[in-house]
Chains A and B, each alone.
Chain A
Amino acid sequence: GVTQSPTHLIKTRGQQVTLRCSSQSGHNTVSWYQQALGQGPQFIFQYYREEENGRGNFPPRFSGLQFPNDSSELNVNALELDDSALYLCASSFGTDNNEQFFGPGTRLTVL
């Protein structure tokens, strides 16, 4: 399945954070989402074969990487209080990703 690390993370405003995801074996597409409490997941971006090929309404301080070994990263610079949320990665095969497999998420708290 899809795994994410760390499970929980506490940072202070202005810091930088890197969240990691390991996709399901064989999946070549990974998407990252931000989910605030009581809300639906908000699409951050999608990577396909190590290239970003879709992006939601998030500022450039949200960036990502996808590696050939089914792993990926979400980097957030200059953390703000509103970045506190659950961050989910989801993997799928192909760019259509109609069926996405989600990881358990990383709970980020920014103080």
Chain B
Amino acid sequence: GQSLEQPSEVTAVEGAIVQINCTYQTSGFYGLSWYQQHDGGAPTFLSYNALDGLEETGRFSSFLSRSDSYGYLLLQELQMKDSASYFCAVRDNTGGFKTIFGAGTRLFVKA
């Protein structure tokens, strides 16, 4: 089966850097994505890694190590508006196309 693990909560101060880790277990791994969801809102796509290494998009970066089944999302220069839930999601093509989401990490940014 497939499973993802990520911390349930992370707290950081405005202007700081925070890293949200994700470990996954899946048989047909095809890529790791990250989504942000504010309370009452829809998930919005942040980044995607298919290959090992770092992908940078503005203040957000995402890293993948396929050999370790591990990835992380790095948020720099934290702002209050970054307070939200962050989900890692793996693409699995075993027996059809699936996208499996983690339970989410709640990020609290304090002033």
A and B held together in a complex: yes
Chain A residues in the interface with B (C-beta under 8 A): 31, 33, 38-43, 46, 48, 53-56, 88, 90, 95-105
- Chain A residues with CB under 8 Å of B41's CB are 104
- Indicate if the CB atoms of B104 and A40 lie closer than 8 Å: yes
- Indicate if the CB atoms of A100 and B101 lie closer than 8 Å: no
**How far apart are the CA atoms of A103 and B33 in the complex, in Å?**
18
- Indicate if the CB atoms of A46 and B43 lie closer than 8 Å: no
Listed from nearest, the 7 A-B pairs whose CB atoms lie closest are A54-B97, A40-B101, A54-B96, A102-B42, A98-B48, A99-B45, A41-B101
Q: Is B24 an interface residue (CB 8 A)?
A: no
- Indicate if the CB atoms of B42 and A96 lie closer than 8 Å: no
- Chain B residues with CB under 8 Å of A54's CB are 96-98
Given known A-B contacts A98-B48, A99-B48, A101-B45, A43 and B98 have beta carbons under 8 A apart: yes
- Indicate if the CB atoms of A102 and B43 lie closer than 8 Å: yes
What DSSP secondary structure best describes chain B's contact surface?
Answer: strand
- Indicate if the CB atoms of A40 and B33 lie closer than 8 Å: no
What band does the interface of chain B fall in when counting residues whose beta carbon is under 8 Å from A? 20 to 34
Q: How far is the CB of A34 from chain B (nearest CB, A)?
A: 11
Q: How far is the CB of B46 from chain A (nearest CB, A)?
A: 10
Known: A53-B96, A102-B43. 19 other contacts (CB 8 A): A33-B101, A39-B103, A43-B101, A46-B96, A46-B98, A48-B97, A54-B96, A54-B97, A55-B96, A88-B42, A96-B30, A98-B33, A98-B91, A99-B33, A100-B33, A100-B43, A100-B99, A101-B45, A102-B44
